[in-house]
Chains A and B, each alone.
Chain A
Amino acid sequence: MKWFRTLPNNLWAFARDYKLAAVGGALVLLFVGVAALAPQLAPYDPDTVSLRESLARPSPRHWLGQDNQGRDLLSRIIFGARMSLYISVSSIGMGALFGVALGMLAAYYRRLDMAIMRLMDVVLAFPGIIVALTTIAILGRSITNVIIAIGIYHIPQFARLAHGLTLTIKETVFVEGARASGESDAAILTRYILPNCLAPIIVQTSLLIPGAIMTAATLSFLGLGVPPPTAEWGSMLQNSLQWAQLAPHVMIVPGLALMLAVFGFNVLGDGLRDAMDPRLKKR
């Protein structure tokens, strides 16, 4: 466990060299922490309506104010973070699962290559939001369908990555050795090739999270994502449209939360990429 003991030092060195990325890391930690502990952290129930306090400004009792139905905005933001994390991680997970499987199969069995990879190209020919909208048009509106809608768009991205990696790895000597010693195709794919693809796939996963968060919020903003009254940043913004003139805080708060979360992931990803690419170091 040597890496474990040097971890604090390494983290510190990273934060010193990449200050912006460290800020991003802190934002991501905050986001994940809030999402994980939402029921403990939220001061109120996010769905409790209190019409007498409709659109109340921020106050000592309600730090971020209340929305048009008098629901506590801070609590809704906190539960919104949970929803955001849940949707983005599940959809990227789904994309990774199917994408990696398809990409590896396409690269390993050359007969499948054309069919699978051209299909992936076509899906990538559409902007992500369009693919997601189409999926919602076909399946209808629900949280699960939002996850599927965003997941589908990420399948080709993982497929391409896994495809490229598998093409290289399957030519290596140790795979040849495995084949010579009579290992089955399934064993070669899962026990020899997959573990060697894992690192770049994990990096890819973290780079795609902010996009998934944004797409989920966009779908809800368009009224085609997470159905109300569930607390979700995009649908909170959608709901704020009618009230923004009277009470701008109902519009500013969810947008800010969304932007900071996405910003955190982007900046952290940016810094990590620079730190891992020796060519970009010390520039």
Chain B
Amino acid sequence: MTRYIFKRFLISVPILLLVVTLVFLAFQLIPGDPARMYVGVDASQEAVEKVRHDLGLDQPVLTQYVNYMSRLAVGDLGKSIYTRRPVVQELAPRFWSTVELSLAAIVFATVIGVLLGTLATVKHGTGWDHLLTVLSLFGISMPVFWLGLLLTYVFSVQWHLLPSAGNETWRHFLMPTFCLSAFSLAFITRMTRSSLLEVMAQDYVRTALAKGVREAIVVGWHALRNAMLPVLTVVGLRFGYMLGGAVVTEEVFAWPGLGRLLVTAVGQRDIPLVQGALLLFGISFVLVNLVVDLLYGVLNPRIRHR
């Protein structure tokens, strides 16, 4: 097991390095003058030259890259063009609220999704099954922002039940959590259903049923445990995507998260901030994948002994 963990860690390192490098290179492609962008259109030529020198933009790309990496190593991501505050300070609180929302959403999607998926399997071929299939197809096709707007219209505008913006109390969590989890909920329901159906067709399940074990126990204990493996991968991947996909939900519900910050930063072309947010997304996605792989190894001995 220790070897497996170690090996998996080693694989993540070059991927992380590539992510960091790619983020650096992508922003070398920006048309126009970054120094000019930093000081504004109406600044004097001297001011532009000074900023160019201060930011090291007058040096060769390779030197810039080395500087960028060494600053990154000590957690320095530069300053926001717009607020002039260090990027790290801008990102940290925003990142936390995105994580909060994503965690709530993934837990909701997983618990309800597995329940519904199991229900669909148990009621296989009946009206319940068809209903859940159609509902989950709708869930996958639902534009997140439209769902958010509809929810807000019904629950905030019409019925005055839930707040439509902010993240102060638990009631602020309800609509964004549901919204963000809708796609994953549908996805996990479908995944659980197909995975469980496959397991239910296996011999050991038939044996258990034949020797008289109650169906609820066979499904809930014997079968579900094995059916969970592919579902777990999906949950992990979905969580990684949620951290980024929260962009839209955050925008609709004015949630002060990383995604909303990114959209604002892109709109203002605040390049250091965009770069920082992007790095954070990339790194957290790689780390989430790492954790999922490790969990997978814990749950499935066949993998870690390979």
Given A127-B245, A137-B274; A263-B26 close (CB under 8 Å): no
Interface residues of A in 230-283 (CB under 8 A from B): 234, 237, 240-241, 244-245, 248, 251-252, 255, 258-259, 262-263, 266-267, 270, 283
* Interfacial residues of chain A within 206-221, with CB under 8 A of chain B in the complex: 210, 214, 217-218, 221
Pick the residue among B142, B245, B266 that contacts A259 (CB under 8 A): B142
Enumerate the 4 nearest inter-chain pairs by beta-carbon distance, A residue then B residue, closest first.
A127-B244, A255-B146, A263-B141, A262-B141
Residue of B nearest to A125 (CB): B285
A26 at the interface (CB under 8 A from B): no
B241 within 8 A of A: yes
**Residues B241 and A218 in contact, CB atoms below 8 Å apart:** no
How many residues of A sit at the interface, in one of the four size bands?
Answer: 35 or more
| Chain B residues in the interface with A (C-beta under 8 A) | 14-15, 18-19, 22, 26-27, 29-31, 133-134, 137-138, 140-146, 149-150, 153, 157, 197, 240-241, 243-245, 247-248, 251, 262-263, 265-267, 269, 271, 274, 278, 281-282, 285-286, 289
> Can you list 6 contacts pairing A with B, beta carbon distance less than 8 Å?
A118-B14, A125-B286, A222-B263, A223-B267, A255-B149, A266-B141
Report the minimum CB–CB distance from A238 to chain B (whole Å). Answer: 8
- A196 interface residue (CB < 8 Å to B): no
Docked pose: A63 CA to B59 CA in angstroms: 61
Q: Is A119 at the interface (CB under 8 A from chain B)?
A: yes
Q: Are B26 and A134 in contact (CB under 8 A)?
A: yes
Q: Which of A222, A223, A258 touches B146 (beta carbons < 8 Å)? A: A258
Assembly CA distance A23 to B223 (angstroms): 34
Contact between chains at A129 and B245 (CB < 8 Å): yes
Q: Report whether A126 and B282 are in contact in the complex, using a CB–CB cutoff of 8 Å.
A: yes
**In whole angstroms, how far apart are the Cα atoms of A64 and B22 in the complex?**
46
Given contacts A122-B19, A126-B278, A130-B247, 5 further A-B contacts (CB under 8 A): A125-B15, A133-B263, A218-B143, A244-B149, A244-B153
Q: Would A214 and B281 be within 8 Å (CB), given that A118-B18, A222-B247, A244-B153 are in contact?
A: no
Inter-subunit contact B149/A130 (CB<8 Å): no
